[in-house]
Amino acid sequence: MKMINLQEEQIEDIEERLESFDEAHITYSMDGCIQIGMEDGGKLIAGLDACITTFKILYVSTVFVDPEYRRKGIGTQLIREMEKRAAAMGVNTIRLDTFDWQGKDFYEALEYRCVGSYDNAEDGYSEYFFMKRI
């Protein structure tokens, strides 16, 4: 045996094998995304991107509000609308991660539970993992 660097077609092959393996444990399929934003005078000032991953789990990959619009409830509006749409899609769990300089306190205020974290003192950051059952 030897270690190799995978080519694109080999990556696709491995991913397909994992999907086949997972099918024995995942008895239903769900998919869909929630991609919403807020505009002010035609200018995009905030946005959220989240997609169903596995089971009934929605993974939030991006939440951003322009600095001059923060602390005005826009982020909360985006999260609440996402939760509403997620529930309508059949999602029962939302998960996300954030760094210490991003939205830790914001997500805690919205009743997301921190389920794990780690500190990287060498590079000067901490990362937090959140979930919420809806």
* pLDDT over 70, % of the chain: 100
Residues 6+ apart with CB under 8 A from 79: 48, 63, 110
Mean pLDDT of 67-93: 98
- Contact assessment for residue 134 and residue 94, using Cβ atoms and an 8 Å cutoff: yes
pLDDT band at 54 (very low <50, low <70, confident <90, very high): confident
pLDDT at 30: 82
- Contact assessment for residue 117 and residue 102, using Cβ atoms and an 8 Å cutoff: no
pLDDT at 59: 98
* Domain spans in the chain, listed from the N-terminal domain onward: 27-133
pTM of the model: 0.86
pLDDT band at 28 (very low <50, low <70, confident <90, very high): confident
Q: Any idea which fold 27-133 has?
A: Aminopeptidase (3.40.630)
